[in-house]
Amino acid sequence: MSPATPGSYPLLSVRNLSKHYPLRHWWGGQGSLFRAVEDVSFDIRPGETLGLVGESGSGKSTIGRAVTMLNPPTSGTVAFEGADLAKLSPREMRRMRARIQMVFQDPYGALNPRMSVGDYVAEPFRLHRPGLARAERRDEVEGLFARVGLDPRFARRYPHQFSGGQRQRICIARAIALKPSFIVADEPIAALDVSIQAQVVNLLQDLQDELGVSYLFISHDLRMVRYLCQRVAVLWRGRIVELADVDALYDDPRHPYTRRLLGAVPVPNPVEERARLAAAALMPPTHPDEGGALVEVAPGHWVAGGVEFQT
Amino acid sequence: MSDLGLTESGVGLPAAAPLRVERGPVRDFWGRLTARPTAMIGLVIVVALLVMAVFADWIAPYDPIATDWGAIRAAPSLAHPFGTDEVGHDVLSRIVFGARASLGAGLTSVALAVALGLPFGLIAGYAGGVLDMLIMRLTDALLAIPFLILAIALAAFLGPSLTNAMVAIGLSATSTFVRLTRAQVQAVAAEEFIEAARAVGNPPWRIALRHILPNIVPAILVQATLTIAAAIIAEASLSFLGLGQQPPDPSWGSMLNVAKNFLEQAPWMAIWPGASIFVAVLAFNLLGDGLRDALDPRQRT
Amino acid sequence: MSGSESMVGSEPAPLLDVRDLGVAFDSEGGAVHAVNGVSYTLREGETLGIVGESGSGKSVHVLAMLGLIPRPPGRITGGQVLFEGRDLLAFPERELRKVRGGRIGFVFQDPMSSLNPGMTVAAQIAEPLRIHLGLDGRAARLRARELLDLVRIPDAAARLDQYPHEFSGGQRQRVMIAMGLSCRPKLLIADEATTALDVTVQAEIIALVQDLKREIGMAIIWITHDLGVVAGIADTVQVMYAGRILERGPVDDIFADPRSAYTLGLLRSLPDLSRGRAGRKRLHQIEGAPPDMRDPPPGDPFAARNVYATPRCRLEPPPLAQASSAAPGHLVAAWYDLPALLAAERAAPGAVP
């Protein structure tokens, strides 16, 4: 019933992950549960990019923070390179962070305004390779700056002296410092200008080709997800409603919500876009229901509720 | 309104841009501080007062506790520019030496308050839980007592002396710094770069010291400067009440205490220490306000 | 679609005529020249899509013409903005207030921070009606209800007395649109009105605005960074960069026959939603970053990032002029001839950068 990976051994294996928050009225009335994420399972293979798409409040970012234990899940398991992350002690988890990294949405907020960007990028070495000599560390940092397309002489500057795209490169440099096997990229291009987004996406792709790192690419940009990801999971109200190889999902979406989502993306072509708008106006709005458990409707193509959406 | 934010274009450094002088936060801050005339006036007066206190031995024309029975309550003259008091002390010399007591009390007591308040505030704000509750309830209790009343009670309990007055003022001001630190820590801890610091594997103590502390120092510094002004008044008040500097050693507050008996006969005895307190307090307040404006990173973008 | 009419003298006076508008912001590091010599016109009932990234001046110039930038540090360095023949920049603030929310309606990016959380929706919609139309409480409330119906908020009567937090993000943006339309404006300005919304909600809002335009017939300035959004709804598209208009023309021509290297770069950098992984190529990327507007380059602001730039581009800013052999009204600010360069590139791959 869970979308396990046939063939290759997964790098990350998430099973029945849920994150609940107790809700209480401000006057202290009786509590209920907000189910931010409910019973989510997926695998990520070595060197693979899994896209996680969905609208605001669908639980995308919650999953990103749950699998990295920054905000641990309420229940479920997250197995990474064979270790159950939820069972690690805080100390062991901190050591594990050399292998799991994160790139955040807001490159303004993710940088410490009172730390030079060189110190910021050097921090993983200080924490995880304390034996490294100062000169070696500086060489490593310079190499990372060059790798992400920044002048190494900028290392002594502070975050406010950089543009948004440059800041995101700095965050990426820090994330790849220890050559992790897995990076959660939470909306890494959402805060960037259109002309900068392609630069960052190309950088992420190049780094994957070079280092073999796996990504969990969380995004609401459905065009970029199609470009960057091998497989995609569609989230709706905290549940995965569809999970498939990217081409299968985009060319043959089965779940009504996936169809609605893909059908809402504007096309940068006036003739097609006007036709799309006209067609959309005639389509009745669909309100998918909860869906239920994932069912494999085609090899590797999982849909909530399964059979009823088969075409 | 997205492109009203001038940050992107304003600081966009094309990769080919020539390297300028590295501008760290400290240099930025200094540039903004020196651009504010009122802050600079405050800074100049504060520095002048500090110089006066440190080099009092060289600056003061007379020994401040030497009595001159030939010049009792003498009006200002060339020999005694600020006049003399009821036992023939030179008022100018006592003002100069009194700066030691006043500024010393201000700086020492605030240093004590910060030294106690900062760690407790950090623990309360970052660790949370039971520790937070304990520290904050104690702070609340202390804050419920007015600052000066608490200082008077403590000074009376510890016994009258300048050192005890400093301790009393410092302890009374501690709760302010606990509160401020805690609030600042909580605000900074919610920022994304703290999550980023956790994501890269920082242990909690390193997050608190390396990532949170540098970001709250500005607010603490501003509060400390403003509290020095309040502490100077507190020291003057305690000395006025006889709970601070003991005669014959001079302090502005104790000088006022004596002067109140001779307001009509020798007004200069009250005017100069009064004016000194006024100028010192004003200077620290001006400097504190200027620091606040210059250190606020929010208004930069 | 209708944007291809020629600009002949017999045409009636435009609704909006922006002439050589300049806006600067004074900062510690020197003046930021946010808008430089922007000129364009808008006909009655026309939909103009303004595309640009942050710092392009697309929002600032609109806010400036309506007196909505903070002054200081902002200031208008020159130009005229003729709305229905009268210069808005010469209006005293009192007069300008009558225009804002009256003849010109607005919708901003963030409906949560643009709505007052402490006022009911009815009170907020009624405000412009009382100010601009002089309606009394009852009439304003009645009209507020009609407006909520107009923007398709179900059960409008029951929702009038609710507060903004009781509405979803899309519904709040509908409320903003209702407020923007409340005084039957001749011009509606939507500044990144769907940027903060989910893609399905964005689709609903765009459909709504299309419907309302058919019903009311107002002109629209739709400011966005998303080329896809303007493709479907604009008659005319205007591409801005570093405070200047780089290209402007009928929507179909801009997409089919872009003449500015920046427009072309933006179009090429968008991944194709319908292309599978098999035919995947490296994303086209525009190198570099926008210029520092405190010290703008002397020539074409895009020249430093433009592989087609000529030496002249770096020295002298090109004027916005009719593009050669392009549709009438298709203007470009470029010293280079993009179609010729692209043709040469196709003929001899690798010969041109």
Write the residue in B11, B192, B206 that is nearest to A161 by C-beta. Answer: B11
- Taking only the tens place, the pLDDT of each residue in C146-174 is 888 877 788 888 888 888 888 877 788 88
Q: Residue A13 pLDDT more than 90?
A: yes
Chain B interface, mutation test: which of C58, C293, C302, most B Cβ atoms within 10 Å? Answer: C293
Q: B142: distance to nearest CA of chain A, Å?
A: 29
Residue A25 pLDDT more than 80?
A: no
Mean pLDDT computed over B92-120: 92
Q: What is the CATH number of the domain that holds C210?
A: 3.40.50.300
How many interchain CB pairs under 8 A, A with B? 89
The answer to whether residue C257 is domain-embedded is: no
For residue A29, what pLDDT band results from cuts at 50, 70 and 90? low
CA torsion B172-B177-B183-B186 (nearest 10°) is -130
Q: Which of residues 142-201 of A touch B (CB under 8 A)?
A: 149-151, 153-154, 156-158, 160-164, 166, 171, 174, 193
**Tally of domains within chain C:** 1
Q: From the CA of A91, how many Å to the nearest CA of chain B?
A: 8
Which 26-45 residues of chain C touch chain B by CB within 8 A? 27-29, 32, 34
Report d(CA C51, CA C229) in Å as an integer. 10
pLDDT-derived band of residue B116, with 50, 70 and 90 as boundaries?
A: very high
Half-sphere exposure for C87 (CA within 13 Å, toward CB): 8
Structure tokens at C108: 């901003």
Inter-chain contact A104–B196, Cβ cutoff 8 Å? Answer: yes
**C-chain residues near A194 (CB < 8 A):** 53, 225-227, 266, 269-270
CA nearest neighbour of B195 among B182, B179, B183, B211: B211
> B127-143, pLDDT tens digit by residue?
888 989 999 999 998 88
Residue A95, chain B, CB below 8 Å: the answer is: yes
Cβ <8 Å between A104 and B195 = yes
Q: Residue B175 in contact with residue B120, Cβ under 8 Å?
A: no
Give contacts of A264 with chain C, Cβ < 8 Å. 199-200, 202-203
Alpha-carbon distance of A217 to C222, in angstroms, equals 30
Q: Which chains touch A (3 or more CB pairs under 8 A)?
A: B, C
- Whether A291 has a pLDDT exceeding 70, the answer reads no
| Interchain CB distance below 8 Å, A202 and C280 | no
Is C285 an interface residue toward B (CB < 8 Å)? no
DSSP state of C232: H
Q: How confident is the model at residue A99 (pLDDT cuts 50, 70, 90)?
A: very high
Distance, in Å, from the CA atom of C9 to the CA atom of C122, rounded to the nearest integer, reads: 45
CB C293 to CB B3 under 8 A?
no
> 3-class SS at A287?
coil
The C-alpha of A201 sits at a distance from chain C's nearest C-alpha, in angstroms, of 8
Do residues C57 and C38 touch, judged by C-beta distance below 8 A? yes
| Cross-chain CB nearest to A194 (options C53, C280, C305) | C53
Residues within 8 A of A (CB atoms), B 268-297 only: 297
Q: Which residues pair with A37 in a beta bridge?
A: A19
Neighbour-count burial for C318-336, b at 16+ CB within 10 Å, e otherwise: bebeebeebbbbbbbbbbb
Q: Looking at residue B194, which CATH number applies to its domain? A: 1.10.3720.10
Among C59, C242, C291, select the one facing B4 at the smallest CB separation. Answer: C59
Residues of A within 8 A of C305 (CB-CB) are 195
Q: What is the pLDDT of residues C22-79, one digit of tens each?
A: 999 887 777 888 899 899 999 988 999 999 888 888 888 998 888 888 887 888 998 9
* Cα A250 from chain centre: 18
The alpha-carbon radius of gyration of chain B (Å, integer) is 24
Domain-located, residue B22:
no
Closest chain C C-alpha to A77 CA, distance in angstroms: 30
* Alpha-carbon dihedral sign for residues A135, A140, A146, A148: negative
How many other β-carbons are positioned within 10 Å of the β-carbon of residue C120? 17
Q: Give A126 to chain C, closest Cα distance, Å.
A: 31
So what's the ipTM on this one?
A: 0.84
Distance from CA of A256 to the nearest CA of C (A): 13
The arithmetic mean of pLDDT across residues A39-67, rounded, is 91
In-domain check, residue C106: yes
Q: In chain C, which ranges are E strands?
A: 16-27, 30-42, 47-51, 74-83, 86-87, 104-107, 187-191, 219-224, 236-241, 244-250, 321-322, 331-332
Contact C28 B32 (CB under 8 A): yes
Structure tokens at C342: 């692209």
C contacts of B12 (beta carbons < 8 Å): 55, 289-292
Q: Which residues pair with A231 in a beta bridge?
A: A50, A245
- Give the neighbor-by-neighbor strand order of the sheet with C86-87: C30-42, C16-27, C74-83, C86-87
Closest chain A residue by Cα to residue C250: A270
**Distance set, CA C63 to CA A191, B3, B141, C88, C119 (Å):** 22, 11, 51, 12, 25
Range of the domain at B242: 36-58+96-299
Residue C270 lies in a domain: no
Rounded to the nearest angstrom, the gap between the alpha carbon of residue A183 and the centroid of all alpha carbons in its chain is: 8
Q: Is C70 among the domain residues?
A: no
Contacts of A246 in chain C (CB under 8 A): 276-277
Rounded to a whole number of angstroms, the distance from the CA of C138 to the nearest CA of chain B is 34
With contacts defined as CB-CB under 8 Å, which chain A residues touch C233? 277
Report if residue B206 sits inside a domain: yes
Q: Residue A158 and residue B24: Cβ atoms within 8 Å?
A: yes
Q: How confident is the model at residue A1 (pLDDT cuts 50, 70, 90)?
A: very low
User: What part of C 186-205 touches B (C-beta under 8 Å)?
Assistant: 191-192, 195
Q: Is A131 exposed, middle or buried (0-12, 13-18, 19+ CB in 10 A)?
A: exposed
Mention every residue, 6+ apart, whose C-beta is less than 8 A from residue B228.
B106, B107, B110, B284
Dihedral sign computed on CA atoms, order C55, C57, C59, C60? positive
Residues of A in contact with B29 (CB under 8 A): none
Interface B-C, measured as beta-carbon pairs within 8 A, has a size of 74
Which chain A residues are within 8 Å of B32, Cβ to Cβ? none
Residue B292 lies in a domain: yes
Asked whether residue C299 is domain-assigned, the answer is no
Residue B12: inside a domain, yes or no? no
**C-alpha span between A94 and A126 (Å, rounded):** 13
Work out how many domains chain B is built from and give that number.
Answer: 1
| Contact list, A121 vs chain B (CB under 8 Å) | none
Predicted local distance difference test score (pLDDT) of residue C107: 84
Distances (CA, A) of A42 to A1, A223, A234: 11, 22, 11
Residue B202 with chain A: CB contacts under 8 Å: 94, 123, 127
Give A232-286 pLDDT, tens digit per residue: 999 998 899 999 999 999 999 988 889 888 988 898 889 988 888 888 776 666 6
Left (φ > 0), alpha (ψ -120 to 50) or beta: where does B73 sit? left
Residue of C nearest to A248 (CA): C276
Give the gap in angstroms from C-alpha C186 to the nearest C-alpha of chain B. 21
Contact across the interface for A281 and C202, Cβ inside 8 Å: no
Residue C177 lies in a domain: yes
* Position C176 in a domain: yes
C237: nearest Cα among A268, B51, A215, A121? A268
Q: Which residues between 34 and 73 in chain C have a beta carbon less than 8 angstroms from any beta carbon of chain A?
A: 53-54
pLDDT at residue B17, rounded to an integer: 37
Instruction: With beta carbons less than 8 A apart as the criterion, state whether A141 and A88 touch.
Output: no
Residue B46 CA from chain centroid, whole number: 10
In a domain, C35, yes or no: no
**What's the gap between Cα C173 and its chain centre?**
17
A171/B196 touch (CB, cutoff 8 Å), yes or no: yes
Kind and range of the H or E run holding C106: strand C104-107
* Half-sphere exposure in the Cβ direction for C41 (13 Å, CA): 14
User: How far, in whole angstroms, is CA C39 from its chain's centroid?
Assistant: 14
* Domain span including residue C155: 101-234
Q: Is C228 on the interface with A (CB under 8 A)?
A: yes
Beta bridge partners of B99: none
Q: What is the pLDDT along chain C (353 residues), one digit of tens a residue?
A: 444 444 445 567 889 999 999 999 887 777 888 899 899 999 988 999 999 888 888 888 998 888 888 887 888 998 989 998 889 888 888 888 888 878 888 888 776 667 887 888 888 888 888 888 788 888 888 888 888 887 778 888 888 888 888 887 778 888 888 888 887 888 999 888 887 778 887 888 888 888 888 888 889 999 998 888 899 899 999 999 999 999 999 999 999 999 999 999 999 888 888 888 877 888 888 888 888 877 888 888 898 888 888 888 888 889 998 888 888 899 999 888 888 888 888 887 665 44
3-class SS of residue C292: coil
